[in-house]
Copies of this chain bind each other. A is one copy, B any other.
């Protein structure tokens, strides 16, 4: 891949920024794959239908198969046409399946890059509790039957706040090594009788990091691990048992720039 970060601005193109929402259930994640059926593939196909040419769509980051988005961000360099941003939004939506929607579109400077300009992201994880999983929550939340202590959820979530090496709370994607230090600005917990939501705001997230944090929080909240042991595990990065919460409970809420 050429160095996208420093590609020269082009006079015959304008950079279009897109806010993309999707139901992750029917797709194999954001990132383009041989075999298609990813959200990026679908958005690129929609551009191709409109333009008659292939263009590349750059997302702020990957989301796994089954992960949803309210505000994924992406950009693409489109030819100079008479289409206003709202026309782009409508034209793309007309070519996309209902499970993928362009929520907003606007023209931005070619110095803006969906991935490299991102300063942080907000992810939300939804858990449904109780004996019976409500049918309308299937594919949209993790169903946890065992009782979870609200207090322990809050104290376990707090463990992750701040700057830590999250090596132990990420999966290897097989790509080049990079720093595994990240900063979680906040982990906001909202609870009700039948559900709970944890919202993480951080400067960046490693592969499967949110789902591993949620897996660990739920283990603490059900009494299988102490908050102290969790804090210790975070302090001493090393391979260890990992509990990955299912993808369906996760939503990329927004990308901060």
Contact = CB atoms under 8 A, between A and B. Distances in A.
Interface of A: 21-23, 68, 70, 89, 93, 98-103, 132-136, 138, 140
A101 B132 CA distance: 7
B136 A98 contact: no
The DSSP consensus for interface residues of chain A is mixed
Interface centre among A68, A89, A134 (most CB of B within 10 A): A134
Contacts of A98: 133, 135, 138
Contacts of A102: 132
A93 B135 contact: no
B134 A101 contact: yes
A138 B93 contact: no
Contacts of A68: 135-136
Contact of A23 (B93, B99, B132, B138): B138
Contacts of A138: 23, 98-99
Contact of A135 (B89, B100, B132, B135): B100
B132 A140 contact: no
Nearest to A143: B98
